[in-house]
Amino acid sequence: MENIKCKYIFDKNYNPKYINGAQGGINPLGEIVVNFYLERAALPISQTYELSNGTMNSAKEISSEPKDLQNSFVRVIENGIIMNYQTAKEIHRWLGKHIEKLEELTKNKKEL
């Protein structure tokens, strides 16, 4: 056989997610576990303001919950993957190829 066609099946709820980090490692079965996350500033559960002239215009925040909100961030994990060694090697190769392409495109744009 000289050619093979791959057909892709998409769930009706397919919706790619933006990530900016990952956490994981090797599980007891020797598989690689990757949990993808979006890291962002934490959102308050509640905030209390001191009103100025009875309005929110220029109101001053006097407290927030949690108390350490200004020093907090969250990592929202919505999905992850588990793969064996061979699949990890193939994805590593595939990703490396695309990184090289992107670096070449970026290099060419800088030279223009």
**pLDDT tens digit sequence for 50-71:** 988 878 888 888 899 988 888 8
> Cα separation of 9 and 83, whole Å?
20
Q: What is the pLDDT of residue 28?
A: 98
pTM of the model: 0.73
